[in-house]
Amino acid sequence: MGEILRAENISKTYQAGRVVVKALNRCSFSVERGEFVAVVGRSGSGKSTLLRILASFDKPDEGKVYVEGEEISGLKGKKLAQFRQEKIGFIYQDYSLFPEYTAYENVLLPLKIAHQAVDKEQLERLFEELGITDCRERYPDEMSGGQKQRVAIARALVTRPAVLFADEPTGNLDAENAESVAAILSRASMRYGQTIVMVTHDRQMADYADRILSMENIVACMK
């Protein structure tokens, strides 16, 4: 399949008042194209910090991140914005849907921003596969938590990103909806060959992934 994502010796330190917090210390690992990887760890282990760096939303103090062979940790301005539009999908724990837009409009938004053509058949198929066809014209406050997260997943998938990152995507859901969302991500990886990196504290959800990496051992995961 080939490597699509690589982190090399990623370190990140934060200043919290007078306390210096070492969030990441020389973390290295790689992900294959089409692989679904779950990163697990206790609260405060640095997994969300790592995800934000991999997705280019934060920069490491040391180390490099490569996506499809391109070193991205130094990208800025228009090049960084273009990279995110073309290569990155992101699913947030709190859904981050725009309340003034319908589900359909929320999903369509990344295509409009990137000035990409809309494949209506693909869009309808995506809504059907995620079980949100009946939510098309609903606004976020008219949907359940599970429905909102499925809409967020559709929005992240619609541009067919090189890598889809998910930050605790089941954290705000009940057990039934959490399991459904984890299964949806697993199917997306298998059906579309979508590369997915998910951070979670829930080992049961992590079991849906092809590979599980522990933050405690991630420094030794580079092959």
37 or 202, which is more confident = 37
Quick one: pLDDT at residue 191?
87
Three-state SS at 96: coil
Tens digit of pLDDT for each residue in 13-38?
A: 988 788 888 889 888 999 999 999 99
Looking at mean pLDDT, say which of 53-57, 70-74, 200-204 comes out highest.
Answer: 53-57
Three-state SS at 157: helix
The proportion of the chain whose per-residue pLDDT surpasses 90, expressed as a percent, equals 62
- H or E element in which residue 199 lies: strand 195-200
Quick one: pLDDT at residue 1?
66
In a domain, 169, yes or no: yes
Quick one: pLDDT at residue 221?
42
Q: State the Cα–Cα distance between residues 105 and 113, nearest whole angstrom.
A: 12
Quick one: pLDDT at residue 93?
87
Q: Are 10 and 27 in contact (CB under 8 A)?
A: yes
Quick one: pLDDT at residue 219?
45
Task: Quote the mean pLDDT of the chain.
Answer: 90
Tens digit of pLDDT for each residue in 64-80?
A: 999 999 999 888 999 99
What value, to the nearest 5°, has the Cα angle with vertex 166 and ends 106 and 62?
120
Question: Quick one: average pLDDT of 193-203?
Answer: 92
First and final C-alpha spacing in the chain: 15
Quick one: pLDDT at residue 218?
62
Quick one: pLDDT at residue 117?
85
Tens digit of pLDDT for each residue in 141-184?
A: 999 999 999 999 999 999 999 999 999 998 888 888 888 889 99
In a domain, 51, yes or no: yes
In a domain, 19, yes or no: no
Question: Quick one: average pLDDT of 93-98?
Answer: 92
What is this structure's pTM?
Answer: 0.90
Three-state SS at 159: coil
Domain extent for 85: 35-58+75-214
In a domain, 65, yes or no: no
Tens digit of pLDDT for each residue in 111-122?
A: 998 888 888 888
Number of domains within the chain: 1
Residue 222 has pLDDT above 50, yes or no: no
The proportion of the chain whose per-residue pLDDT surpasses 70, expressed as a percent, equals 96
173-206: burial string, b at 16+ Cβ within 10 Å, e else: beeebbbbbbebbbebbeeeebbbbbbbebeebb
Domain harbouring 116, CATH code: 3.40.50.300
Quick one: pLDDT at residue 44?
75
